[in-house]
């Protein structure tokens, strides 16, 4: 029996060593944990359980209404002055739909109507209303106007309606000595013939004669005749009818629809159907169409490039 116990005594030793090792490790662990243990901060713990802090964390959305009202991030993204512009637009609305005669110091010299007169290509030649008081061409929805706060609404053959501040106003062409350029060409010629028959009948040469070119191929024009024509712009604008010419959907000069017989334009050699393309090398468009007449006053030499019956032609003038 004793020999049997001695035979297996090493197992008892091993078991005892294991138990001792376990208790030793547990003791060492407890000792080390007490050295490095960091207790909870009483102040932090107290703060975490403060009623006020808990209440702040569960605040309702009403607490943030003041931030939304102040709109510190400008959520509406309204540009500076937008409110002012909107107010000005409201003020510009006319108080009446019936236009009244304007009191502005302006004079309507001529109009070019496209469609019903509300097309952006429609234009009106107005004198006055600006410091220079020169005849200027204005367009529907154009950047330039003949007065502050003025917006052109519609252009008619002898009348222009516009908004002036809060008033809906109009200006009309005055009494014309010539015939309206907005009548059909046949009526223009018939009217001219009838008008001539009432007074002293003009000679046949006065109605159709053109100024013959000199030896150099230039047409000589008397400066006095040009000055006389330009002193009466009302009559001048009734002696020719021109409209924009379009080719392949693009503006290509100005087309002559009618020329009053005996006028300065007929003497210059302009004919019905001519397409004026350039003046002194400058492209001609709807805005600069009447500048041909203004250049006659200051220029001494003038070259007009045109198309006549499908052929290119140049007319050279010398003002003496």
Taking residues 175-186, report their average pLDDT.
44
Q: Is residue 60 pLDDT above 60, yes or no?
A: yes
With CA atoms as reference, report the closest residue to 230 among 180, 293, 292, 287: 293
Neighbours of 98 (CB within 10 A): 7
Looking at residue 232, its pLDDT comes to 73
Taking residues 210-219, report their average pLDDT.
58
| pLDDT bracket for residue 14 (50, 70, 90) | confident
Distance CA 8, CA 241 (A): 137
Residues 226-248 pLDDT 10s:
777 777 766 777 788 877 777 77
Distance CA 170, CA 156 (A): 10
Distance CA 212, CA 221 (A): 10
Looking at residue 91, its pLDDT comes to 46
Looking at residue 68, its pLDDT comes to 74
Q: Rounded to two decimals, what is the model's pTM?
A: 0.39
Distance CA 270, CA 210 (A): 9
Looking at residue 162, its pLDDT comes to 92
| pLDDT bracket for residue 251 (50, 70, 90) | confident
Alpha-carbon 210 to chain mean position: 43
| pLDDT bracket for residue 80 (50, 70, 90) | low
Greater confidence (157 vs 217) lies with 157
Looking at residue 170, its pLDDT comes to 93
Looking at residue 160, its pLDDT comes to 92
Greater confidence (295 vs 67) lies with 67
The token pair at 146 is 């003949």
Residues 129-159 pLDDT 10s:
765 667 788 888 888 888 888 899 999 888 9
Looking at residue 258, its pLDDT comes to 87
Taking residues 275-294, report their average pLDDT.
70
Looking at residue 161, its pLDDT comes to 93
Domains and CATH numbers, the chain: 100-172 (2.30.30), 185-198+210-319 (2.30.42.10)
> CB-side exposure of 37: number of CA atoms within 13 Å?
9
């Amino acid at each position: 029996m004793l020999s049997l116990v001695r035979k297996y005594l090493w197992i008892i030793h091993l078991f005892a060593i294991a138990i001792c090792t376990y208790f030793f490790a547990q003791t060492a662990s407890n000792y080390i944990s007490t050295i490095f243990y960091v207790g909870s901060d009483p102040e932090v713990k107290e703060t975490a359980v403060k009623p006020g802090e808990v209440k702040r964390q569960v605040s309702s959305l009403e607490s943030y209404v003041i931030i939304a009202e102040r709109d510190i991030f400008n959520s509406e993204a309204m540009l500076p002055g937008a409110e002012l512009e909107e107010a000005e637009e409201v003020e510009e609305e006319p108080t009446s739909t019936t236009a009244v005669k304007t009191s502005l110091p302006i004079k309507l010299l001529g109009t070019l109507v496209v469609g019903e007169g509300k097309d952006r290509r429609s234009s009106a030649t107005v004198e006055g209303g600006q410091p220079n008081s020169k005849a200027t061409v204005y367009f529907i929805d154009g950047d330039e106007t003949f007065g502050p706060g003025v917006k052109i609404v519609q252009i008619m053959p002898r009348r222009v309606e516009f908004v002036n501040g809060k008033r809906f106003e109009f200006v009309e062409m005055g009494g014309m000595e010539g015939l309206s350029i907005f009548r059909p060409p046949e009526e223009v010629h018939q009217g001219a013939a009838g008008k001539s028959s009432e007074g002293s009948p003009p000679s046949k040469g006065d109605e159709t004669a053109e100024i013959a070119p000199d030896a150099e191929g230039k047409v000589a024009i008397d400066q006095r005749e040009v000055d006389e024509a330009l002193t009466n712009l009302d009559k001048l604008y009734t002696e020719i009818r021109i409209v924009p010419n379009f080719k392949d959907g693009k503006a290509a000069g100005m087309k002559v629809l009618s020329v009053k017989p005996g006028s300065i334009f007929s003497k210059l050699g302009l004919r019905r159907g001519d397409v004026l393309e350039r003046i002194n090398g400058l492209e001609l468009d709807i805005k600069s169409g009447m500048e041909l007449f203004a250049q006659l006053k200051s220029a001494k030499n003038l070259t007009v490039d045109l198309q006549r019956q499908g052929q290119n032609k140049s007319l050279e003038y010398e003002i003496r």
